[in-house]
Amino acid sequence: MKSQRLVNRSRRKETRTAFAFLLLPVTVYLIWIIGPMLYTFYLSLTEWDMFTSPTFVGLANFRRLAADPVFHRSLLNNLKWMVVFITVPIAAGLSLAMVLNRKVRGSTFFKASFFMPMVLSLVVAGLVWSWLYNPAHGLINTVLRGIGLPQLARGWLANASTVMESIIAVGVWRQVGYVMVFYLAGLQSVNKDLVDASRVDGAGSWKSFRHVVLPQLAPITTVVIVISIIDSLRVFALVAVMTDGGPHNASNVLANYIYLTGFQWYQMGYAAAIAVVLFLLAFVFIVFYLSRIAREEDHA
């Protein structure tokens, strides 16, 4: 009995210690994350110019969103980012990882080279690519003219038909190396015995990759897709630096529209409503994808 009491006392002490260590991070999380999030939900139901007290207007901001063409364009642009980010960088990053995972001369140099864009801040990347896209003196148009294709040269960031694709291309350029690193790490845990066994059974390189390697990379793919969804929905810096949403809102995204609405036009209640939509959009996509993955794992 005495030993049991000592064990119970030790367990209670460990529990109190664990709660003591958790107290600070949980408090910080509640103050800096949960608190502002709940306040944003409240602000979305108000009209506030940041200089006077908020006025409660109910769902008026959300009804305004339903008829706002700039919001519709921004939402569509974010969805374009998402579609591209969960296809192109993942396919390119996985392909690079498969090639560079082999022990060949110069693989370390190429790994560092492909990851280097991720080291640059988004602001720096946006400025550099703005110079490259310059219609008069930019490298892209200069090269096109130099190789005899002047008809392809254009104002990439000033043309509504090319601006969104031009900015997304910069995002993909940064994202590919990031995805590559994830898959390089995942390839280290692939069971090589299973790969060798599939080759012995007559499976070619493609079948071996598809039926043996790719299923083992499923957890990494899940992480990469979730990160890609989050990155595509919170994109801001590239758009703000390169075009600020122009021309004529053709490149606007939700995060940039929130910034313009709240901090330039002082319509903080409306900006909060856009932020709520952005949060719900990310939440729905991520929960849907993770629940689908969980069901597939349960049936496996």
> Could you identify the residue written with the tokens 């994808």?
289
When pLDDT is cut at 50, 70 and 90, the band that residue 2 belongs to is low
Measured in whole angstroms, the distance separating CA 5 from the mean position of its chain's CA atoms is: 51
Q: Which two tokens stand for residue 118?
A: 């991720």
Q: Compare 126 and 202 and report the one with higher pLDDT.
A: 126
**Which residues partner with 46 through β-bridges?**
56
Q: Which two tokens stand for residue 73?
A: 């364009």
Contact 157, 166 (CB under 8 A): yes
Give me the pLDDT at residue 198, please. 80
| Domains of the chain and any CATH numbers | 69-299 (1.10.3720.10)
SS3 of residue 47 by DSSP? strand
Q: Is the pTM of this model over 0.95?
A: no
The alpha-carbon radius of gyration of the chain (Å, integer) is 25
Q: Which two tokens stand for residue 133?
A: 């896209």
Q: Compare 110 and 199 and report the one with higher pLDDT.
A: 110
pLDDT tens digits along 176-233 = 999 999 999 999 888 888 877 887 777 777 888 888 889 899 889 988 998 899 899 9
**Which residues partner with 47 through β-bridges?**
55
Nearest to 69 by CA among 250, 236, 259, 197: 250
The DSSP call for residue 52 is S
SS3 of residue 121 by DSSP? coil
Interaxial angle between packed helices 88-100 and 107-119, expressed in degrees from 0 to 180 and rounded to the nearest 10: 150
When pLDDT is cut at 50, 70 and 90, the band that residue 61 belongs to is very high
Residues 200, 159: Cα–Cα separation, whole Å: 55
Contact 250, 160 (CB under 8 A): yes
